[in-house]
Amino acid sequence: MHVPDGFLDATTSMATGAVAVAAVGVALRGARRELDDRAAPLAGLVATFVFATQMLNFPVGAGTSGHLLGGALAAILVGPFTGLLCLSVVLLVQCLLFADGGITALGTNIDLMGVVTVAVGWLVFRALQRVLPKRLSSVAPAAAVGAFVSVPAAALCFTGLYAVGGQAEIPLGTLAAAMVGWHLIIGLGEAVITGLAVASIVAVRPDLVYGARRVLRTRALEVRTADGATG
């Protein structure tokens, strides 16, 4: 979903750039609360995994492909603020080294593939956590649903930006329908990859998964009660 140079006008690109700078600034402060000595190495892994997986375009039919965006995955594994930092590093490297995603569109891409997918993925995940059983086995499915929703949400936000600053006259309704339509299918791929990746880490080291912390805390309390009863 990398927006190239020339899709959006200069004013819109500057505005999205300003939003991206502000968001990364907030994330730099917020990430401090999420990252300790134990969790920090995982952030490097998450960014690397998102970069690698974004290279793996999967076919979604009719000569079209999609790739992982990764915001939901990153948010659930390392926390939303750190997740946005990971995505921003990936998008910066893709833009400068690989000419993927326009330089004037870097802010737009950080907003769409970073801020929107992280925020939507995380909020949907947290909402599901409130209603699902507080078990480790709920973490990966909730992550997958958050990931699924995050992709059409980013597509819809692109449509909104295009309505404001698009460089061609495109009827909005048809643009929204086309963008959301394709990205609902791509979202299924996002859900599968995110679910598998989160499930793998939950299986070996649930304590390192940011989105599993609340579940583990509940469990720890139960253990302490049992200890008190036997001791």
Partner 1 sequence: MRRVSTRALVVAGVLVALLLAGVGSYYASSSPDGLDRVAQDKGFARTERPHAADDSPLAGYDTEGVRNRRVSGGLAGVAGSLVVLALASGLALAVRRRAAGRDAEQRDLAERPGG
Q: Under rule CB under 8 A, which residues in 59-78 are in contact with partner 1?
A: 59-60, 62-67
Alpha-carbon 146 to chain mean position: 9
Question: Which stretch, 41-49, 122-130, 137-145, 211-219, contacts partner 1 (CB under 8 A)?
Answer: 41-49
Q: Do 154 and 87 form a contact (C-beta atoms < 8 A)?
A: no
Distances, alpha carbon 98 to alpha carbons 14, 15, 55, 68, in Å: 22, 24, 11, 17
Q: Which residues of 125-152 are buried (b: 16+ CB within 10 A; e: fewer)?
A: bbebbeeeeeebebbbbbbbbbbbbbbb
Q: Minimum distance between the CB of residue 189 and partner 1, rounded to whole angstroms?
A: 11
Q: Under rule CB under 8 A, which residues in 151-170 are in contact with partner 1?
A: 155, 158, 162, 166-168, 170
Q: Under rule CB under 8 A, which residues in 114-143 are in contact with partner 1?
A: none
Q: Going residue by residue from 97 to 116, which x/- string records binding to partner 1, judged by CB under 8 A? A: xxxx-xx-------------
Q: Under rule CB under 8 A, which residues in 198-227 are in contact with partner 1?
A: 201, 204-205, 208
Residue 43 binding partner 1, by CB under 8 A? yes
Q: Do 157 and 178 form a contact (C-beta atoms < 8 A)?
A: no
C-beta of 46 vs 145, nearer to partner 1:
46
